[in-house]
Structure 1
Amino acid sequence: MINNYLNTIGLNALKASKDLSLLNEKKKNKVLIDFYKNLKLKKKDILKANISDVSKAKKKGLGKNLIDRLILNDNKINYIIRSIQEVIKLKDPTQKIISKWKRPNGMIISKYTVPIGVIGVIYESRPNVTSDIAILCFKSGNAVILRGGSEAIHTNKVISECFRKSLKKNKINENCVQLINNTNRKLVDYMLSSMDKFIDVIIPRGGKNLVKKVQTTSNVPTIGHLEGLCHVYIDKYADLNMAKKITLNAKMRNTSICGAAETLLIDKACIKTHLNPILQLLSISGCRIIGDKITKKNYIGSNIDLATEKDWKTEYLDSLISVKIVNGVEEAITHINKYGTQHTDTIVTNNKKNASLFLSSVNSAIVLHNASTQFADGNEFGFGAEVGISTTKLHPRGPVGLEQLVTYKYLVKGNGQIRP
């Protein structure tokens, strides 16, 4: 039964992806306009469904960070709508000539962008992801199969139906966007093991266990990141007020996102001036601090727990940060490249040489100078929204938006050439 259900969805997606290739940018944007209008009209239904999902999630004992991601309100729905409007403004990434050249034999070669085809996305908690993925995949010419978490099933159904109604209104194949309504976990196993003939790539968005399962068991190529173990390094040349502001934002603005800082590194040359003001600010803001021996010795606030090797490898996703004192920028880089997850890391410094060394040597998808790690977000990059963050070195890397959801092919035009 599961096989038949998912195979039908897969066949529908293949057909829809071919239909999508015939759409121009104007037609795609019209669908997106109707989609956000539908969301406005169905706002009460979305919130009602979300209340039901949140209530059930709390009864199941889901963690606070998952509940926070699940909750929708007027502001979050308005944010979803603004994301759609931003994507509408962006250029269609398909059918672009990236480069073009002429060979000595007269052949003209063009490198040309095309959609990937069918994208499967397995995700947890955040219902806004349903909208983000649908709009990005659709505008980039890809059909999408959505498999959200059971905790958000009712909210996801309403949002996905809003998109399908906008497709139907514009006489476009509704199966450009399909939501798997069955919450049986065996469906995920089948998607990963037996749908490679339908799905071109699978993108996981969720906790470590989900992402690890997808990356290790999928027969379909995957895009994604396992963890967001992000670092803030305070260099000895850092402006104190800037360092305080960036560290607080990187850790406490939203502790449950993958761009939240988990480890704070401080140059030992500025312990006397920077350590206590920064840690005290974190503490009064509700952040628990775990530090190495030097941090414990120099911190004048309340007692802090001693950090262990495990702390440097832990993504807390909570109001908790590990602090380590390092001997300059090179030791900070070594620590990040050893313990980080190649996600997002930042240096706070007014020294251009140290900043340049950090930016070029830290082996992460996103590296920042004098800015918060919480900017690790497709919307903040000007992508309108994101399907996720990729930490792999192969295409794509970093926030995955429209431009990252296309591949390319070569168009070669001749006039009778044959190879000697």
Structure 2
Amino acid sequence: MKNYLYALGKKAKKASIKSVSLRKKNKVLKDYCNFLIKNKKRIISENAKDLKIAKEKKLKENLLQRLLINEKRIFEIINSIKKIIKFKDPVNQCLKKWKRPSGLKIEKITTPIGVIGVIYESRPNVTSDIASLCFKSNNPVILKGGSEAYYSNKIFTDLFRKSLIKNKVDINYVQLINYKNRKVVDFLLTKMIRYIDVIIPRGGKSLVKKVKDLSKVPIIGHLEGICHTYIDKDANLSMAKKITLNAKLRNTAICGATETILIHQNLLNKFCIPILSNLEENGCKIIGDNKIKRFYRKKIQTAKKSDWSKEYLSSTVSIKSVKNIEEAIDHINKYGTMHTDSIITKNSKSAKKFLKEIKSSIAMHNTSTQFADGGEFGFGGEVGISTNTLPPRGPVGLNQLVSYKYQVSSNGKTRK
């Protein structure tokens, strides 16, 4: 295993030295789309092997749904790649240039990050998304997918590599780790610092926590998505009902799902029953503080302090009353995970205050937190969402997969 992984790393490093023109990169991606269309039946057949094994292991239904690849999902993958093709080259772009009195001419130019290692679970479509984004940004990628999607990941990778071969591009721009041994992840995180420049974990809390705890390689990612929706004193009831229902229940399993709703105390009499009834009638379990319980006497569980720190990833939501916008902001900055938080209000002054003072990587106004997604941001897909204080932050798409360098020139200047 050690020699195998080191070999992958060496080949990826070698590939990173070779730049690829925009024309050729787009040609590789177009050919990949064609290979996906021509091999639809084969992809679905390979995916069926993964589904069969997963059912034998009695994986939960939501995990089976994540694992499933059908014709519709293949075309969704292709559409995502077509969007990436349309983007301009993120590499070798001049971000800024200026002259100094000393005679220096300085340019700030985008560069690839280097070799990217991605560790992910369940969703085989991630293989195509990440391979495409990393390749277009000139970053060789080493993929470690979950063993439950082994056959699906392999066929997607093989077809991408086939497109690289067809266009005479180094095949090692995209490599999939074929070992199913769990020790592979430990080795990647602790022994591959010479070969991998950044690690991106995509998966459940236990995987991301392990990566954050063990990795000696820099990480782009987030641990949890404890997202909030704050209903301000100047909120519109109809809008608040619509947004909270979508933010919580559209898809409860994603990191952008709202987990806590904060309601201004002045609204409890008017807003509590319609908003909470709307959630409960759509199958949501309500956990509320004592003030909320006084205004909502239907099915409700008393909130404990620990509930404010929970990422439910299910049809459960915690509800808290707050005295004012300051208390809402303080609560979010204390219990949130700097992922995505939203304010519902007609008051532009309150909205500006919230957007400015929330520490989160994504702050929203009159918007469902479920929009926390690279595709929805117009990035053509994402490799994940980062809640790191240092950039990149938020959805990490094509233009976030670059670093930069300063190029300095002069007419033979020397420093005094």
TM-score (norm 2): 0.97
State which of 335, 354, 360 in structure 2 corresponds to 1:358. 354
- The answer to whether 1:98 aligns with 2:95 is yes
Determine the C-alpha separation between the residues in 2 that align with 1:285 and 1:272: 21
- The answer to whether 1:69 aligns with 2:61 is no
Task: State the shift of 1:59 in Å.
Answer: 3.0
Specify the SS of the correspondent of 2:116.
strand
State which of 325, 328, 331 in structure 1 corresponds to 2:324. 328
Say whether the 8 Å CA contact 1:65–1:317 is kept in structure 2: no
State which of 157, 161, 164 in structure 2 corresponds to 1:160. 157
Residue 264 (structure 1) aligns with: 261
Paired residue type of 2:300: I
Deviates more, 1:390-399 or 1:326-335: 326-335
- The answer to whether 1:7 aligns with 2:2 is no
Determine the C-alpha separation between the residues in 1 that align with 2:51 and 2:310: 27
State which of 394, 402, 409 in structure 1 corresponds to 2:405. 409
Residue 276 (structure 2) aligns with: 279
Determine the C-alpha separation between the residues in 1 that align with 2:31 and 2:177: 23
Paired residue type of 1:206: G
Task: State the shift of 1:54 in Å.
Answer: 2.6
State which of 237, 245, 250 in structure 1 corresponds to 2:247. 250
Task: State the shift of 1:363 in Å.
Answer: 0.7
Task: State the shift of 1:374 in Å.
Answer: 0.7
Task: State the shift of 1:304 in Å.
Answer: 1.4
Paired residue type of 2:239: M
Which residues of structure 1 form unaligned runs of 5+? none
Determine the C-alpha separation between the residues in 2 that align with 1:81 and 1:15: 29
Task: State the shift of 1:309 in Å.
Answer: 1.4
Specify the SS of the correspondent of 1:386.
coil
Residue 313 (structure 1) aligns with: 309
Say if 1:248 and 1:131 are closer, same or farther in 2 by CA, change over 3 A: same
Q: CA RMSD in A?
A: 1.2
Aligned length: 416
Paired residue type of 1:70: L
Residue 294 (structure 1) aligns with: 291
Residue 394 (structure 2) aligns with: 398
Say whether the 8 Å CA contact 1:54–1:71 is kept in structure 2: yes
Task: State the shift of 1:64 in Å.
Answer: 4.1
Determine the C-alpha separation between the residues in 1 that align with 2:97 and 2:351: 36
After the TM superposition, which residues 12-411 of structure 1 pair with which residues of structure 2 at under 5 Å, given as runs?
12-19=11-18, 21=19, 23-301=20-298, 303-411=299-407
Determine the C-alpha separation between the residues in 1 that align with 2:218 and 2:273: 47
Determine the C-alpha separation between the residues in 1 that align with 2:81 and 2:198: 23
Task: State the shift of 1:223 in Å.
Answer: 0.8
Determine the C-alpha separation between the residues in 2 that align with 1:269 and 1:261: 22
Which residues of structure 2 form unaligned runs of 5+? none
Determine the C-alpha separation between the residues in 1 that align with 2:291 and 2:73: 42
Specify the SS of the correspondent of 2:408.
strand
State the Cα deviation string for residues 99-124 of structure 1 (Å, max 9, x = none). 11111121211111110110000111
Task: State the shift of 1:273 in Å.
Answer: 1.6
Specify the SS of the correspondent of 2:92.
coil
